[in-house]
C-alpha cells in the first residue's frame, strides 16, 4: 500500500482527494495538512472532510510528519506548494502537484526540487483534458494559419487565477504546433477599437461564475467553417482519479519531473 498525504484537505479538491484515496484498494490515506490558521487543526480529517473518522489528525507542519507518507498530493497555492516541495526534496518524498498560477521563477524553483525527488506536475489531472490537448495539437498542425484560434475557459466564482492553468497549457500546445510565441502572440482581453484581428493571435476568454467545475474550448475559426474541441468536467472526481494514477507513477520513481505525457504515454 502506498501511503498518501493530501495538502489543503479542507478545500473542495482536497476533500474529493481524501474520499477517493479512502476508496482506493492500493492507497492508504495517512496524513492531511492545512495552513496553521485553520480552525480545525488537531481535528480528525474525517470530520474536516465530512467523512467517517479516519484516525488521521489535521496537521499544519508537513515537516513534522514526513515519516507518515510516501507521496503527497498538493492542490493549493504556489507559495505553499514550493515550501512543501522543499520539505519533500529534503526528505525524499514524492509529490503530485495540481497547483496552478506559478510564475516562471516559481516553476524554476519547483524544477530544482525535482532534481532531488520525483515530482509529477500537471495543471489539469483529467485524463480527458490531456487527451483533448493531443487532439488540439493535431488540429493546429493540420490547419496551420488557415484558421483563427481562440481558447475559451469557464470556472467557478471562487477560482483565483485567470486564465486557468489548463488554458495556459493549451495555449502553449497551440503556440508550439503553430510555431508561434505565446509571450507575444497571446491576447487576454479585448475592449474598444481593437482593429482587425492579427492572424498570429492566440486569443483567451475567461468566464467565472457559480459552481462551474471546469470547461475548456478551443475554437478554430476559418472561412466557411468552424472546428471546436471542448472538454467539460462535471465533477472533481475525474481530477482526483488522475492524481491517484500519478501517485502510482511517482511512488517508486527516480528523482525527476513527470507529467501527463509520462502517465498516458502520449
**In the β-sheet with 118-121, what is the strand arrangement from edge to edge?**
58-59, 27-33, 2-7, 71-74, 94-97, 118-121, 256-258
Q: State yes or no: pLDDT of 186 exceeds 90.
A: yes
Choosing from 38, 91, 159, 176, the catalytic residue is 159
Low-confidence winner among 31-45, 123-137, 142-156, 194-208 (lowest mean pLDDT): 123-137
Choosing from 65, 93, 155, 231, the catalytic residue is 155
Q: Residue written as cell 466564482? A: 157
pTM of the model: 0.78
- Under a CB-based contact definition with an 8 Å cutoff, are residues 140 and 178 in contact? yes
Identify the CATH homologous superfamily for domain 127-233.
Answer: Dihydrodipicolinate Reductase; domain 2 (3.30.360.10)
155 catalytically annotated? yes
At the top level of CATH, which class does the domain 2-121+236-264 belong to?
Answer: alpha beta
**How far is the C-alpha of 104 from the C-alpha of 191, rounded, in Å?**
28
In 3-state terms, what secondary structure has residue 148?
A: strand
- Mean pLDDT, rounded, of the chain: 95
Q: How confident is the model at residue 239 (pLDDT cuts 50, 70, 90)?
A: confident
Q: How confident is the model at residue 151 (pLDDT cuts 50, 70, 90)?
A: very high
Residue 206 neighbours by CB distance under 10 Å: 17
In eight-state DSSP terms, residue 153 is E
Q: State yes or no: pLDDT of 51 exceeds 80.
A: yes
15 catalytically annotated? no
Q: What is the mean pLDDT of residues 175-204?
A: 96
Q: Where are the domains of the chain?
A: 2-121+236-264, 127-233
Q: How confident is the model at residue 27 (pLDDT cuts 50, 70, 90)?
A: very high
User: Which grid coordinates are listed for 56?
Assistant: 488521521
**How far is the C-alpha of 184 from the C-alpha of 201, rounded, in Å?**
9
Amino acid at each position: 500500500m502506498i501511503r498518501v498525504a493530501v495538502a489543503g484537505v479542507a478545500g473542495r479538491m482536497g476533500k474529493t482527494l481524501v474520499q477517493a484515496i479512502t476508496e482506493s484498494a492500493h492507497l492508504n490515506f495517512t496524513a492531511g495538512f492545512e495552513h496553521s490558521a485553520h480552525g480545525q487543526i488537531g481535528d480528525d480529517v474525517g470530520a474536516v472532510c465530512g467523512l467517517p473518522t479516519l484516525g488521521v489528525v489535521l496537521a499544519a507542519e508537513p515537516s513534522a510528519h514526513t515519516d507518515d507518507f510516501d507521496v503527497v498530493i498538493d492542490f493549493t497555492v504556489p507559495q505553499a506548494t514550493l515550501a512543501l516541495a522543499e520539505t519533500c526534496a529534503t526528505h525524499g518524498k514524492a509529490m503530485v502537484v495540481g497547483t496552478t498560477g506559478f510564475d516562471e521563477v516559481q516553476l524554476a524553483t519547483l524544477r530544482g526540487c525535482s532534481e532531488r525527488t520525483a515530482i509529477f506536475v500537471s495543471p489539469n489531472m483529467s485524463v480527458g483534458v490531456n487527451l483533448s490537448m493531443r487532439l488540439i495539437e493535431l488540429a493546429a498542425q493540420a490547419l496551420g494559419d488557415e484558421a483563427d484560434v481562440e481558447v475559451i475557459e469557464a470556472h467557478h466564482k471562487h477560482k483565483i487565477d485567470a486564465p486557468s492553468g489548463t488554458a495556459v497549457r493549451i495555449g502553449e500546445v497551440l503556440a508550439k504546433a503553430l510555431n508561434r510565441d505565446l509571450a507575444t502572440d497571446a491576447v487576454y482581453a479585448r475592449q474598444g477599437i481593437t482593429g482587425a484581428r492579427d492572424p498570429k493571435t492566440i486569443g483567451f476568454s475567461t468566464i467565472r461564475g457559480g459552481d462551474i467545475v471546469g470547461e475548456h474550448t478551443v475554437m478554430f475559426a476559418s472561412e466557411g467553417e468552424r472546428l471546436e474541441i471542448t472538454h467539460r468536467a462535471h465533477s472533481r472526481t475525474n481530477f482526483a482519479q488522475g492524481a491517484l494514477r500519478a501517485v502510482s507513477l511517482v511512488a517508486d520513481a527516480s528523482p525527476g519531473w513527470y507529467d501527463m505525457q509520462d502517465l498516458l504515454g502520449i
